[in-house]
């Protein structure tokens, strides 16, 4: 099933854990350091570098672009590292996250509560994933290097639904 980020909220209600999807649209990269900065902005009631409602965060720290490419390798990082951040972001409107591996029961509850989704990307496939990224723009926290927030445009990135909006899991 092809899903466009712009229609993610509607699509999330129809997805089931284990479904294979092809995601297209704008997503944002953010790992641990960027999440800490996002929370500093939220706690200070400052504007975020992107609109959170309906957004998709890809837990990745891409490498530098190779000649003729828009990005280097862009594989997923372990999603459990974001367990302490994800529930609050889902409660503020985050539509989905992309990562690898299991997440905590609190994250699953936030996904269900907010009718969101968690997509799994294949670890070790960063070079293949990069072929589905058509644009890459660093938009915040440039001093964090590979952990800076980037706005990516995806074209039919193959993913699996790890946790669906009903709380079902591929890990159970």
Give the dihedral sign, CA 34/49/99/77: negative
State whether CATH 3.20.130.10 applies to domain 2-163: yes
- Domain residue ranges in the chain: 2-163
Cα–Cα distance, 167 to 52 (Å, whole number): 22
The pLDDT confidence band at residue 37, using thresholds 50, 70 and 90, is very high
Quick one: pLDDT at residue 170? 96
Q: What is the pLDDT confidence band of residue 3, given thresholds at 50, 70 and 90?
A: confident
Backbone angles phi, psi at 13, to 5 degrees: -70, -20
Q: How far is CA 114 from CA 40, 96, 167, in A?
A: 23, 10, 11
Reduce the DSSP state of residue 91 to 3 states and report it. helix
Cβ pair 7, 56 in contact under 8 A: no
Please give, one letter per residue, the 3-state secondary structure of 96-143. EEEEECCCCHHHHHHHHHCCCEEEECCCCCHHHHHCCEEEEEEEECHH
Asked if pLDDT for residue 120 goes beyond 90, the answer is: yes
Residue 172 has pLDDT above 90, yes or no: no
The residue from 9, 31, 35, 132 that is catalytic is: 35
pLDDT, mean over the chain: 95
% of the chain residues with pLDDT over 70: 100
132 is catalytic: no
* Distance separating alpha carbons of residues 145 and 141, to the nearest angstrom: 8
Q: Which of 36, 118, 110, 121 is nearest to 77 (CA)?
A: 121
% of the chain residues with pLDDT over 90: 91
* Predicted local distance difference test score (pLDDT) of residue 69: 93
pLDDT given for residue 125 in this prediction: 87
Cα–Cα distance, 99 to 30 (Å, whole number): 11
């Amino acid at each position: 099933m092809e899903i466009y980020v712009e229609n993610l909220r509607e699509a999330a209600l129809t997805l089931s854990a284990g479904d294979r999807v092809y995601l297209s649209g704008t997503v944002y990269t953010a790992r641990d350091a960027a999440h800490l900065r996002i929370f500093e902005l939220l706690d200070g009631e400052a504007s975020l570098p992107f609109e959170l409602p309906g957004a998709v965060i890809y837990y990745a720290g891409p490498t530098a672009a190779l000649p003729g490419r828009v990005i280097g390798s862009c594989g997923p990082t372990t999603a459990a590292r974001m367990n302490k951040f994800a529930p609050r972001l889902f409660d503020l409107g985050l539509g989905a996250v992309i990562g690898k591996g299991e997440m905590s029961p609190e994250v699953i509850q936030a996904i269900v509560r907010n009718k969101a989704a968690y997509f799994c990307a294949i670890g070790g496939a960063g070079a293949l994933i990069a072929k589905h990224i058509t644009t890459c723009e660093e938009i915040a926290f440039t001093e964090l290097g590979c952990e800076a927030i980037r706005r990516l445009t995806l074209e039919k990135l193959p993913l699996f639904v790890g946790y669906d909006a009903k709380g079902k899991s591929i890990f159970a």
